[in-house]
Structure 1
Amino acid sequence: MPGRVTVKDVAAQAGVSAMTVSYAFNRPGRVAEDTRRRVLEVADRLGYRPDRTARALRSGRSGQLGVVLGEHLSYAFDDPQAAQFLAGVADVCVEDGLGMVLIPTVGDSGDVDRVRDAAVDAYVLWTTTDDDPVLAAVGASGRPAAVQGGPARPGIARVGPDDRAAAAAVAAAALAGGGTPVVVSFPLDRSRAAVVGPAAGLPGRVPFPVTRERLAGYRDAVTAAGRDWATVPVAVVERNERAQGAWAARALGLGAGAVVLAMSDELALGVHAELGGRPARITGWDASAPALAAGIVSVTNPLRAQGRACARAALDPSAPIPEVVWEVAGGPSQGISPSRS
């Protein structure tokens, strides 16, 4: 058949209406199985393929879910917790027959355009800062969105645990045996500057909500243990990597008796490796198998489930947001009493 094959050509050969051909491809539940099979066989023989781009333009939907990382693209593959979160988003995309578009933002002038111009139906955002202009771009897009960890914004669903309560619980568990507390912190702001200094003034107006809430929780536990929070040494890292945890251990000059409050298992494992067996109590976050095996006290943080919840909330803004349940787990005895939120 010369020229481009159309829906009408398939309909004529299959002995059905053009609408039936459209339903056979796009809404198969509305077509009898025998009829759909006949339409698909004719389409295959004629070389007909539906124009997905045109269909998207007509419907106003792309069939794609955008995931805004707030990190370089390689972070999605290098960070084990980010990978778990993305796997949860992918689970929902598979269930709903959607594609997933990764949209990295790196703090340059192109971030807003990159996010705003993405051909997606909804957004899922990895935790970011209060002052991230991408948040305003997502909010102004008119497309539904959900964010893991925050910040909370009208029209953007938030999924995540009570970071402050969990941080206070894990720090209290580690400080119960005494010792000198130190903190290995996520970045404080979008500059991601690595700094070492006392905790005085922290968390203050730290724009990363996850960092801010965990610092507040550590402060609660340190103060409750009768220690002066203002004098607690803090090492702020640039990225969530084991090498950064090792750097923090060196920068803090850690020795015996230290109680290291690290904001992730990756950072905690870096500290653990750098100490090389020197006695210290170390806390982490995410309760990963390597951290628990190393005797690190950690917080369960079901990121795959949070990825699923974010995707569902973005695709259906009317859906209820599930509570994220956390526990304190691990340590040398593997038996610290759990706390929940």
Structure 2
Amino acid sequence: MKKLDVSKQEKEILEDALDFWEQESFIDAEQSRKLRDSLAEKGFDWSILARYAFWIALASLVFAVFSLFIDDSFIQFIATLSEAPNSIFLAFFTVLAVLFYGLGFRQKEKFPNKTFSNETLMLIGVFATAAAVGFLGKTIDKNSTHYSLLFLLSVGIYGFLAVKLRSQLIWIFMLISLGVWFGTETAYRSNWGFKFWGMNFPLRFTLFGLCVTAFAYLLQGRWTALKPFVGLSQLMGLLYLMLSLWMLSIFGNYSDFEDWTAVRQYHILYWGIAAILICLGCVWYGLKNKDYKMREIGFVFLILNIYTRYVEYLWDNINRAVFFLILALSFWFVGRWAEKIWHKKKTETLS
């Protein structure tokens, strides 16, 4: 009889489910036995090996490129190309990007289950696209400081390709490029100062993350072509928002390091309180609507913000031994609390 290969953890979950269905008389003992017999525990999870192998391959490729740039013979070769027009490099990287996007799409159509190898080809295309856009900027205008427009072009290219090739990976790079464009564009508009409309970078990106998150939750699902990427946009928007808000709670809206160091931390406590309240709001919304992304990200950054405030206000004010003892006890209580929730959920599943 053909059996379904599952990991040890998956097998335990399925067996718990079968126990529950048998106890509730959804299936009889004979059906339960047959279903159990159809499960086979994997001896080794090859998907993990495949994932790590492709990551190592990409890392090795990056190291190979960096190694080339410190190799004397390669540097001499590059020197001979220094007089070559940028349009040649633009054409080369454009062809390279098209080649790997084509290979990735073809592989995806023929072998949709080979996720890691398909996305690796797409990733090489993404890097080639970034290089092509860079050389396009050099070809068009060598002296312009308004290079944020190149990042905006990257946003358009990655967004178009993500939709056409149905690639989650390219969509992630589109969202990263969008953040880089926002940062460089606002810096350019402020004459490369640290303040734009009275806002430093953490405050700007807090609002940026809020906008991305709101768009992902409220509007993106209305477009059929963008629906497959809603979850990724929600995740990236929340990360932009929470990371920026956490940095804002530390540095406030200061743009000068000396000004910030001269101010006592309690003078910007309101940013820390705002960060904690927003995190609590995310946890509450996630629990109410069963939104695990918002719930878990909100909870992680809630803990991070609480411990950040703890370090800020007590590091210089109490004995180091007491400081770390309180820290150890607090983490122990958090662990115990999480363990109780885990056991409670497991008991509810089986009862």
TM range, smaller chain: under 0.3
Structure-2-length-normalised TM-score: 0.23
Q: Which structure is higher in strand share?
A: 1
Structure-1-length-normalised TM-score: 0.24
Q: Which structure is higher in helix share?
A: 2
